[in-house]
Amino acid sequence: MVLEVIYVVRHGYRSNWVVNPSTGTYTATVRSPTGIPSDPALASYGVQQAEQLAEKILSLDPPVDVVYSSPFYRCLQTLKPALERLEAECGKRLDVRVENGLGEFYGLARFDHPSPAPLKILHTHFSTLHPTYAPVIIPSTNGESIPNLHDRIAYALHRIISTLDADPSQPRALLICTHAASMIAIGRALTGRMPSDFSEEDFRCFTCALSKFRRRRRPDAEEAEEDVEAWDPGVPEKIPRVEWRGKGVKGGWECEVNGDCSFLSGGEERGWAFSGDEAFLRDPNAFNDAANMGGQVVAEGDGGMEAVDTNESSKGSRL
């Protein structure tokens, strides 16, 4: 048996951070549990969303057999209520495989973006992390172009699905927790549908939204496996080529549920879409609203939307 279904969720409503795009300095008014300003915890409202998402996850059919997550705190925190309930109510302990290849998207920059906390630190906050799992790819700290993000996601999915197809326990359903940009890229990589306009709103990624993808066809045992080289950590920006455009990763997948929020009391909130080339003259985590807000970058916070004037700090030459 091979993997049949992939569920994808976005993290819940988070606390905010601010970044100076000229210097690459990240700051936050609410201290992150990991001490990294761009690695915030969920806001109180996001915790409520995660609890509602847990109820939905427990009802999924087929049920979740294995869990992968971005390494950022807000994603692991979003999964926590579901994992606790699966163990307490169903006797099913699922250790999360922390995969950097499913992590946040940062636009290209001349400076280094903050990295997520190492597994040793994350283990002090979350008890259900796989103790020995090693990520298949780690994004460059200098950020990525939009095409590279999609290729990074496709490579990570190729490696993850290949591993689960060969798993003797024969998992049927995978759950992934990730971020807005990565959730869009996952939908495109799985289905093989890459729009000519990156900003097309094809795959929905509201906070705590859930999408479902079903395998388009079973891989033929005699079909030659696509020859994909291993990612080299010495050259992090070089992403091994996976032929996913037009056909999808590992035989392709159909989207059966696209960003469902019907189980959330607040419904669809904090939608996101690509805008421009995402080079780091604006913060790609801040809803890409700079063009529509008169030069202001809008970030999430406990009290709603916070406007930060970036007319001066964001000026500079495009990479």
CA distance 148 to 280: 15
Does the pLDDT value for residue 299 go beyond 80?
no
pTM of the model: 0.87
d(CA 27, CA 21) in angstroms, rounded, equals 12
Helices in 61-109 by DSSP H: which ranges?
73-90
> Which CATH fold would you assign to the domain 5-282?
Rossmann fold (3.40.50)
Confidence of residue 257 (pLDDT cuts 50, 70, 90): very high
pLDDT in tens, 17-73: 888 877 888 898 899 999 999 999 999 999 999 999 999 999 999 999 999 999 999
At 289 the pLDDT is: 33
Tell me, what amino acid is at 126? Answer: F
Burial of 32 (0-12, 13-18, 19+ CB in 10 A): buried
What is the DSSP secondary structure assignment for residue 9, as one 8-state letter? E
Please give the C-alpha separations between residue 177 and each of 57, 149, 243, in angstroms, as whole numbers.
Answer: 12, 16, 24
> What does the alpha-carbon distance between residue 193 and residue 30 come to, in Å, rounded to a whole number?
39
For residues 200-210, average pLDDT: 97
Q: 236 and 292 in contact (C-beta within 8 Å)?
A: no
Are the C-beta atoms of residues 139 and 236 closer than 8 Å to each other? Answer: yes
